[in-house]
Amino acid sequence: MENAGSILASIFKNIGMEDSLTLSRLQREWATLFDEPLSLHIYPASLNNGVLVVNVDSPLWLQQLKFFKLAILKKFEGYRINTIDFRHGRTNPSRFKRTGNLSDMNNCEQTPQPERTLDDADVEWIAQTLATVNDPGLQDSIRNVLEKALTRKLCGETN
């Protein structure tokens, strides 16, 4: 007789939800799989047929991670992941500690929140993101947008 877990796994696989569930599990466990600072610079973005796409927050980290691809892949032995593709993208959503339900978030979004200050990681991420932009005016515009987005204190954030 099969246990409930294996039956559910088979059902989820048949309806195409296995990858979504595995990705969700990976995202929840990310900070336990990778210590800081690595966990702050990479984050799983998608999973499709055993191919995990991991967002990396800077070109420098992106290049370095290619040397450690096999070691990182070993961390995913229990997740049915065959390969990893690294790409430049937004990472570390836990930096934005959102609490409460959706209606609480909507109420909070309408109320002005005090600003938070940029930490060293934020400043470094902005600098690395802007390193590939050649136009000084465009750099300033992007910097302003990023700084504003990162300094806006989100609903439920305590520090």
Structure tokens at 151: 């300094």
Do 73 and 139 belong to one domain? no
One domain, residues 121 and 48? no
Residue 152 burial (CB count, 10 A): 15
In a domain, 93, yes or no: no
- In total, how many domains does the chain have? 2
Q: What pLDDT does residue 96 have?
A: 43
Are 39 and 111 within one domain? no
What global pTM score does this model have?
0.52
- Alpha carbon 156 to its chain centroid, in Å, reads 19
Q: Considering the domain boundaries, does residue 124 fall inside one?
A: yes
**Domain housing 79:** 4-88
User: 154 near 84, Cβ under 8 Å?
Assistant: no
Same domain for 56 and 38?
yes
Residue 97 has pLDDT above 70, yes or no: no
Q: Answer yes or no: is 159 within a domain.
A: no
47, 68: one domain: yes
pLDDT tens digits for range 36-88: 888 888 999 999 888 999 999 888 888 888 888 998 889 888 888 999 999 99
Which CATH number is 49's domain given?
A: 3.30.300
